[in-house]
Amino acid sequence: MSTRKNVALVVGAQGVIGGNLIEHLATLEDWEVIGLSRRPATSSRPKVKHISVDLLDPKDCRAKLSELTDVTHVFYAAYQDRPTWAELVPPNLAMLVNVVDAIEPVARRLQHISLMQGYKVYGAHLGPFKTPARESDAGHMPPEFNVDQQSFLEDRQKGKTWTWSAIRPSVVCGFGLGNPMNLAMVMAVYASISKELGLPLRFPGKVGAYDKLLEMTDAGLLAKATVWAATSEAGANQAFNINNGDLFRWNEMWPKIARFFDLEVAPPLTMSLDVVMADKAALWKRMIEKHGLEPLPYESVSSWRFGDFVFSWDYDMFADGSKARRAGFHEYVDTEAMFLRIFGDLRQRRIIP
């Protein structure tokens, strides 16, 4: 690869965050891109090389990454799900350590390591927390793998020429299949199946969640912010909340989503999507044939467990994004427009009717 360009190593290339980051980097003239993921790439892009690697295997990481001597920026967005918060720590910390252990000794021009985090740093997953959350807020009782990952990078960076950044988005929305955290797909498939069954669109979460304030992060906006933090002096060794810049409540947003799908809205009815949608694979297969959709397996189009998690937040869920604005990143996205754009894109791609 050319030593005159920045060379990005995107770890977690098949996820919503990593995939959209690669799409953005591929549009920039002064970047070349290498994507890492456990699954083989499903499509090829100009300027993008893909490597399939088991990030939990240190030997595989060293073998696959040993020749990546021109990498200048590592963008870490890999994630492995586990049943409990404590069980999340070992694999997610180990994957980051294995990548850094493999790439740091060989990447002579390494400038920056970007770490993707989230509001779990603030304890948002545990229950009501201080809002708006700020990057300077006090930590909370572990376990929390995001905190452990950042501590590892901070310790590793001491005395080095490269810098790090920690990017903290809210729920990230964008196109991506087969991912455990993709709320836009959850909503689109749930609405499409509701329509197929002749049902109104009911908010399935906790009743108290319907009127609380929350925010989202557009995947395209997040990609731009991530690259900005990795290439700006103001982003060196800093954490940034990255969000769309507006707040909403589901009780206002839900009818707008329903209108997109030509559905009526009925009162909220608390139910586990993971339970009630478990038997819909046969229906989805019939919908694929009826509407001429892409023949995607039902289990790859939505993560109902993640939907249940997001729709259970019966407390405010938002953070202060002004630190990034003060440092020089000024872009924002209208959340309603974001949802409708993503749904339109899914329809155009024949993922949903």
**pLDDT value at position 43?**
64
The length of the chain in residues reads 353
147-153: average pLDDT = 98
pLDDT confidence band for 2 (50 / 70 / 90): very low
47-63: average pLDDT = 96
**pLDDT value at position 40?**
82
pLDDT confidence band for 42 (50 / 70 / 90): low
Peptide bond just before 83 cis, omega within 30 deg: no
pTM for this one?
0.96
User: Could you read off the pLDDT of 151-182 as tens digits, one per residue?
Assistant: 999 999 999 999 999 999 999 999 887 776 78
Per-residue pLDDT at 3 exceeds 80: no
User: Could you read off the pLDDT of 330-344 as tens digits, one per residue?
Assistant: 999 999 999 999 999
Percent of the chain with pLDDT over 90: 93
**pLDDT value at position 96?**
98
38-64: average pLDDT = 90
